[in-house]
Amino acid sequence: MGFTAVKSGDKRSKVGEHFKTIGDGLTTTKNKLNELSSKISEAKNADGSTIEAVKGAIKGANDVFERLIAALTTLADTAKEAGNTDIGDAITDNNAVGADEASVKAIIESVKTIIDLADKSGIEIKPGNFGEPVANGDGPKALIHNAQAGAGDAAKLAGEVSKADPWAMIDKIKNSKDVTASAAPAAGDDAGKLATGSVGAANDNGTAATNADLAAAVGSQSND
């Protein structure tokens, strides 16, 4: 997915750039398959049944590519809206806000689409290492909401994000539940709750269920 190329000091919009690059690559591959299909159809000595079999296989692959490209486009556009905020600096004024609920849901649905397509294609995706629970002061309070974040808290958040297993992070995004912008930060929040919790509640006690949940929440945010 290209997550290893995104560093904790990068801008959040850079995540969108990586998704776009992947989508562009899939588009190029899809176009090449279409060219191949045309060339096979034009071949004078090609057997009719063989042509139809190949064209059917290419069409099936293209259907998957189109759905993947659509999902990646949604991810790229949503991440792009995050602007120039550093991934590891989600708060600078002790009053950062949670991500837009609809945007987070769009990311979750896009990731689910990609994972489901992989499953249907016989590709096994193992979730990876979720990591340990993360205390409030080690990242969650600097992620979003009206926390009492102080000097060094954003760096702690960046440190947690940099430790995350990318496949565990993807799995957490896929399985995020109860995404609502009205929920107050609480102990053991999952990625969805960490990303969208109420901006009216002080986040001085919210914790992340795992390191992967915290990293996934950072990856899911689109508003600051």
What's the rounded Cα separation, in Å, for the pair 158 and 9?
7
pLDDT of residue 91: 43
Distances 143 to 98, 122, 149, 217 between C-alpha atoms, Å: 8, 36, 9, 8
For the chain, domain boundaries: 3-80, 101-220
- Determine the angle formed by the axes of helices 166-174 and 101-120, rounding to 10 degrees: 110
What's the rounded Cα separation, in Å, for the pair 196 and 101?
6
pLDDT in tens, the chain (224 residues): 434 344 444 555 555 665 676 667 667 767 776 776 676 666 666 667 766 766 676 676 667 667 767 766 766 666 555 555 444 444 444 444 445 566 666 667 767 776 776 676 666 767 778 888 887 777 666 665 444 555 566 667 777 777 778 778 778 877 876 555 556 777 888 887 777 765 566 666 778 888 888 877 776 654 44
Per the structure block, which two tokens stand in for 200?
A: 């009216």
E strand or H helix at 183, and its extent?
Answer: none
What's the rounded Cα separation, in Å, for the pair 72 and 51?
31
pLDDT of residue 44: 60
- Decide: 196 and 155 in contact? Cβ < 8 Å: no
